[in-house]
């Protein structure tokens, strides 16, 4: 395994958007640590990614598990450090109206979509500080729009957005940057879970976001710190 000079951690990196982000990073010479819950799917993804970059390390398990988060950061440390952390792993939960609000279900969404990325970030900050690194938190338009049935998921992403903006302000003096990225609607397993039985082939594949990721990883992290980007918008700030 070639020793990479730059290293990234991508949670939810075994399929969909996370796999695309990991492929972009690998193609740019990053060693990539990818996380995912399904060990078999994760191993296949790591094998495929090994053709695109100098090093790929899979870490299987649920991101809400503290030992899994520690293993992700330990793997980055063993590769040599950490330049980019992508908190992509997320959970949709059941779509349903708020009058039927389910507190245990919402607690699971908060654990997966808010607490886990924040606690992983806590572990990553010392390594990111050494490299003046970048934290990328994946959000959704559901965080800013009141879509019927999406209240619980949207609330979890809205919480992640506020925490990310605060984190960006708090870490700026350490030269560690944090950004939010809304990737837009895509053909992914999560999207299909949101619309069971529907044909979602009218949505683009996650590869549509590749130009954005290449643009973002070309930027100096402190030049984008605290910003929110829409990866698919034709009039998006990053295209100008």
Catalytic residue annotation? 153
Q: Cα 53–139–92 angle (5° rounding)?
A: 100
Q: How far apart are the C-alpha atoms of 131 and 26, rounded to whole Å?
A: 18
C-beta of residue 31 within 8 angstroms of C-beta of residue 56: yes
Q: How far apart are the C-alpha atoms of 186 and 165, rounded to whole Å?
A: 25
Q: How far apart are the first and last CA of the chain?
A: 38
CA–centroid distance for 208 within its chain: 16
Assigned token pair, 78: 């063993």
Q: Cα 68–72–75 angle (5° rounding)?
A: 130
Q: How far apart are the C-alpha atoms of 59 and 61, rounded to whole Å?
A: 7
Q: How far apart are the C-alpha atoms of 24 and 13, rounded to whole Å?
A: 12
What is the number of helices (H) and of strands (E) in the chain?
9, 7
State the CB neighbour count (10 A cutoff) for residue 197: 5
Q: How far apart are the C-alpha atoms of 20 and 116, rounded to whole Å?
A: 21
């Amino acid at each position: 395994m070639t020793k990479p000079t730059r290293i990234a951690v991508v949670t939810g990196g075994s399929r969909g958007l996370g796999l695309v982000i990991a492929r972009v990073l690998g193609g740019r010479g990053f060693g990539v640590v990818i996380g995912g819950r399904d060990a078999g799917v994760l191993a296949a993804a790591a094998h495929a990614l090994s053709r695109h970059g100098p090093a790929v390390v899979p870490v299987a398990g649920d991101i809400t598990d503290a030992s899994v988060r520690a293993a992700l950061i330990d793997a980055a440390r063993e590769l040599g450090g950490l330049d980019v952390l992508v908190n992509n792993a997320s959970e949709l939960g059941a779509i349903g109206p708020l009058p039927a609000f389910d507190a245990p279900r919402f607690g699971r969404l908060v654990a997966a979509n808010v607490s886990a990325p924040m606690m992983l970030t806590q572990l990553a900050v010392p390594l990111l500080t050494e490299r003046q690194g970048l934290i990328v938190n994946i959000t959704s338009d559901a965080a800013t729009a009141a879509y019927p049935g999406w209240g619980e998921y949207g609330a979890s992403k809205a919480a992640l957005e506020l925490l990310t903006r605060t984190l960006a302000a708090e870490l700026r003096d350490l030269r560690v940057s944090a950004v939010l990225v809304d990737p837009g609607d895509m053909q992914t397993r999560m999207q299909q879970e949101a619309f069971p039985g529907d044909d979602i082939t009218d949505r683009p594949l996650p590869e549509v976001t590749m130009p954005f990721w290449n643009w973002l990883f070309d930027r100096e992290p402190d030049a984008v710190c605290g910003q929110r980007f829409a990866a698919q918008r034709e009039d998006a700030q990053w295209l100008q």
